[in-house]
Amino acid sequence: MELQPTQNKQVTSNHEKILELKNLTIDFGGLRAVNNVNLTVNRGELRGLIGPNGAGKSTIFKLIMGIHSPTAGQVILKENDITKTSTWQRARLGIGIKMQIPGVFGELTGYENIRIAAQNYVVPNEIDEEINRLAKLVGIEHLLEHEVNNLSHGQQQWLEIAMTLSSKPELLLLDEPVAGMGPEETAFTAEIVQRLNKNGVSIIFIDHDMEFVRKISERVTVLHQGATFAEGSIAEIESNQEVIEIYLGSDVYEGA
Ligand SMILES: Nc1ncnc2c1ncn2[C@@H]1O[C@H](COP(=O)(O)OP(=O)(O)OP(=O)(O)O)[C@@H](O)[C@H]1O
């Protein structure tokens, strides 16, 4: 799907499911890292995924992207079972992921980094235009000529978001997009995420920064010990006594 016109979210969401996880389970040896998770995300949603360290959040992202194969259960994308589909094909089908660990090349410029990602998806004579489009989409046109080693942590994260967008994902997975950022970088990241979502990209993000989660989430899913623990609006989640006990009332999430 093109990321161009701003779409009316009432129309795009309309309860059309973009992703369904059905009884999803994965064991690592004796450890059940994800335990019978059922999760539905509608098209156009901006969904937060929160929970204590080790709850299984990143593992769920890797199961959605096909980096791990589940022990049991299914991953359904736009009504199609993609449980056995390769990671590469899932990218072609519309899933993009920005992992926690940065994947940029420090000795290259911003432009060259985006070029590496974009060349998988456009023909050579369109690449310049595409790199500029992606940089503009994220708001980092001014960083294109800089060597990445000279960019701040936040700027490198934004660059990586631009690289992830080269596959034109309909469903974007962001693993801790504001980890290690100060307030200004966090605020700009919130703007980026909201802008992409308004442009029609469905987004699931993981974060421990509750101010960020509160600012951008419409709906939040809480994971605990590999299982879905609670789901609701941010107001419902923040006033849920059990969620406060297992996560929000502890120091675990602050600056984690
Ligand atoms: N490849 C792996 N092999 C073995 N165990 C793993 C593997 N990946 C994750 N785990 C374990 O699975 C559990 C869930 O890990 P996961 O990284 O998904 O948690 P998380 O909720 O993302 O945590 P955090 O908030 O700290 O990033 C943890 O106990 C972790 O040690």
Model confidence pLDDT, tens digit, residues 60-89: 999 999 999 999 999 999 999 999 999 999
Does residue 130 sit in the same domain as residue 157? yes
* CA dihedral over 45, 50, 56, 61, signed as positive or negative: positive
Cα of 27 from ligand 1 centre, angstroms:
11
State both tokens at 202.
Answer: 């469905």
Cα of 157 from ligand 1 centre, angstroms:
22
Q: Give whole-number Cα distances, 248 to 182, 190, 226, in Å.
A: 21, 21, 17
Cα of 53 from ligand 1 centre, angstroms:
8
Does residue 89 sit in the same domain as residue 181? yes
Say how many CA atoms lie within 13 Å of 100 toward its Cβ: 12
Cα of 58 from ligand 1 centre, angstroms:
7
ipTM over 0.90: yes
Does residue 37 sit in the same domain as residue 146? no
Contacting residues for 180 by C-beta, under 8 A, at least 6 apart: 153
The packing angle between helices 183-198 and 153-164, to 10°, is: 10
Q: Quick one: CA torsion of 139, 141, 146, 151, rounded to 10 degrees?
A: -10
Does residue 18 sit in the same domain as residue 49? yes
Residue 9 scores a pLDDT above 50:
no
Does residue 26 sit in the same domain as residue 150? no
Residue 124 scores a pLDDT above 50:
yes
Does residue 197 sit in the same domain as residue 215? yes
Cα of 55 from ligand 1 centre, angstroms:
7
Quick check: 175 and 97 in contact, CB under 8 A? yes
Ligand 1, atom 1, lies closest to the CA of 28
Model confidence pLDDT, tens digit, residues 198-229 = 999 999 999 999 999 999 988 999 999 999 99
Q: Where would I find the H helices in the chain?
A: 9-13, 57-65, 87-93, 110-118, 127-138, 153-164, 183-198, 210-216, 234-238, 241-243
State both tokens at 110.
Answer: 């911003």
Tell me how many domains the chain contains: 2
Q: Which of 24, 34, 59, 254 for mutating ligand 1's site (highest number of atoms within 8 Å of CB)?
A: 59
Does residue 87 sit in the same domain as residue 183? yes
Does residue 15 sit in the same domain as residue 68? yes
Residue 5 scores a pLDDT above 90:
no
**Lowest-confidence segment of 6-10, 128-132, 166-170, 242-246 by average pLDDT:** 6-10
Does residue 81 sit in the same domain as residue 107? no
Model confidence pLDDT, tens digit, residues 157-181 = 999 999 999 999 999 999 999 999 9
Does residue 180 sit in the same domain as residue 249? yes
Does residue 5 sit in the same domain as residue 43? yes
Ligand 1, atom 2, lies closest to the CA of 28
- Ligand 1 site, CB within 6 A: 28, 31, 33, 51, 53-59
Ligand 1, atom 24, lies closest to the CA of 53
User: How do beta strands 46-50 and 95-98 pair?
Assistant: unpaired
Q: Specify the ligand 1 atom closest to the Cα of 59.
A: 18
Does residue 152 sit in the same domain as residue 179? no
Q: Which amino acid is at 134?
A: L
Q: Containing domain of residue 157, as a range?
A: 103-167
The contacts found for 239-244 with CB under 8 angstroms, 24 or more apart, are none
Quick check: 19 and 41 in contact, CB under 8 A? yes
Cα of 167 from ligand 1 centre, angstroms:
27
Q: Which of 37, 49, 57 for mutating ligand 1's site (highest number of atoms within 8 Å of CB)?
A: 57
For residues 94-101, average pLDDT: 92
